[in-house]
Structure 1
């Protein structure tokens, strides 16, 4: 075989091997492409899988309103699991869990629980702006009835862009509340004063009217005495 034919055969073999290797990367349960992890918080403990866990804060940095925990939880087992609590490290607070008719906190076998978003269950975290800061990756611990504690680190992001529909409902800031309270107080204290003035004016008018009605008789009496 000539040297050119040998080089051609070697090149063809190399190409065939490369194609086979690339095909193997994307095939089967142990494929290399499955090793690529998404850029979000996810973990698995026993039959529980937590995905897309995120702490979403108020979009206004000066707001003292609550934050929420958003996540999708899967129960891959056959027995039901109940979400009992959620704690964000550093806050010293436990999130308030609220179920809905369509999203109970008990996850049936093979079911899922969605936290956050319209008509879904929610996990509301009281104001902890000093502990929950945008850009952090903070530890969250989910506690379940059977699986126990499931912990992972989740990003803290403001309720903007994609997270707007999943974030906490807006609440008035402290300054706005104080301003509104002052306005109500001022209007309330001003009303009685206005009423008192009007009452005093009415009484004064009544007295003046009585004085006016008495004047003709006094004049007549004075004329008679003079005569």
Structure 2
């Protein structure tokens, strides 16, 4: 029987108390178990940390990993960044011969694909951080007021815009050749979903979302 140990993480104490972020992880894991897991299966235990993804000192994750190594169960997470936001940490886990990792949102991804995804995600986060700082500095130099009630909203909107542009730039290398070969938007979306890739919001691809990426890349 297939065995899993589920691990979830939220970033702050407030998220842990309110359940914010946990519901989404629970749903992703439920979908994976229902549609993609080998049958029959059992979940040995669930562990949860309330801590930043940049901090690798997480007692519940350590307990989950220890149970996996002893039982032979697979560690199941909703998204790769629930483990860590550091590619070096994720790579070390994947190199552990006593540990097997499954990501609910990427049910068919092997270790090589997960490693690439983690590296791209880390690179994207660094790029977004630098671009956001540059955009805010440019706005400040133009005399735009960034303080007060508008400041959090402006920062969030700027970060979302930069993230969307960065994602389009990264994905066009995959989407572009398929489009040039005459593949339809729907066909491209199906191909991305089959590769286990998700949108920036963690959802499945649709023809409309593929179209938006092409438009952003062209702009």
TM-score band (shorter)?
under 0.3
Output the TM-score relative to the length of structure 2. 0.24
Question: 1 or 2, which has the higher helix percentage?
Answer: 2
Larger Rg: 1
Output the TM-score relative to the length of structure 1. 0.23
